[in-house]
Amino acid sequence: MTKKQLFRNSNEWKEFSKRLREKYNDECQICGSQVNVGCHHLNESDYENISNEGDFACLCFLHHTEIHRMCNSKKTDIVKYLSEIERIYKRSKHI
Tell me: the pLDDT tens digits for 45-65? 777 888 888 888 899 998 888
Could you state, in order of their start, the residue ranges of all structural domains in the chain? 3-93
pTM above 0.75, yes or no: no
Q: How far is CA 93 from the centre of its chain?
A: 21
Give the 3-state secondary structure of 33-54: CCCCCEEEECCHHHCCCCCCHH
pLDDT mean over 29-34:
90
Query: In the prediction, which pLDDT does 91 show?
Result: 59
For residue 72, pLDDT beyond 80: no
